[in-house]
Amino acid sequence: MSQEPGAEDAGLTAASEFAGVPDEFQRLWTPHRMAYIQAGPEPLADDCPFCAAPGKRDEDGLIVHRGTHAYVLLNLFPYNSGHLLVCPYRHIASYDDATVHEVAEIGALTQTAMRVLRSVSRCDGFNIGMNQGAVAGAGVAAHLHQHIVPRWATDANFFPIIAKTKALPQLLGEVREAVAGAWPA
């Protein structure tokens, strides 16, 4: 059997050696998504993920930085690689429920996150915002969180429009490690 270059070390066999007839389709292998499939349609129905995350190890909660009143973590369902969320520790639903200290820290953490993402991923811009309430599109409406989505001039493709699919070139753990490692002390 022939192998891809370097595959002999990994014990891999070239796809062309397997049974089947090649077709015109490309495959986007995303085995990390199996965790979401196995969790079922409502994995967040019972627990607030933003209340649970601070009680976990940073690696397990995808936390990249812990502040005094708020913290930063990766979005478990990212729009792009490096999609961060800034959350207050308190379980509040609306921005106008946040204290002056929470608002200030959410703003400061957002600025730092932008600087870190620029240095780590060399992004060209950002989408930043909060969806307040389920009617506004908040996936977790009961706990305030701000999105920081890095964008690149070349990040648009047909997947989201035609196939309702986002192509993410990095695994969450790799992104968390890079962003946390670049976060200023």
The answer to whether residue 177 is domain-embedded is: yes
pLDDT digits (tens, 9 = 90+) for 41-74: 555 556 899 999 999 999 999 999 999 999 999 9
Whether residue 154 is contained in a domain is answered as yes
Dihedral-angle region of residue 155 (phi above 0 means left; psi in -120 to 50 means alpha; beta otherwise)? alpha
User: Structural domain of residue 93, as residue ranges?
Assistant: 29-36+46-182
Q: What is the mean pLDDT of residues 79-100?
A: 95
CATH code of the domain containing 98: 3.30.428.10
At residue 173, the pLDDT reads 86
Domain assignment present for residue 83? The answer is yes
Q: What is the pLDDT of residues 147-169, one digit of tens each?
A: 999 998 877 655 555 556 666 77
Residue 84, in any domain of the structure: yes
Tally of domains in the chain: 1
In a domain, 132, yes or no: yes
pLDDT confidence of 144, banded at 50, 70, 90? very high
The confidence score (pLDDT) of residue 83 equals 94
Q: How many helices (H) does the chain have, and how many strands (E)? A: 6, 5
What is the reported pTM?
0.72
Give the residue among 127, 129, 122 at the shortest CA–CA distance from 106.
129
Q: Is residue 114 part of a domain?
A: yes
Instruction: Return the percent helix, strand and coil in the chain, to nearest 5.
Output: 40, 15, 50
Which of the following is catalytic: 65, 83, 145, 147? 145
* Residues 99-137: tens digit of each pLDDT: 999 999 999 999 999 999 999 999 999 999 999 998 998
> Does pLDDT of 24 surpass 70?
no
Residue 145 designated active-site: yes
Domain membership of residue 175 (yes or no) is yes
Give residue 109's pLDDT. Answer: 98
At residue 170, the pLDDT reads 78
- Is 106 a domain residue? yes
What one-letter code names the amino acid at 165?
A: T
C-alpha span between 144 and 110 (Å, rounded): 14
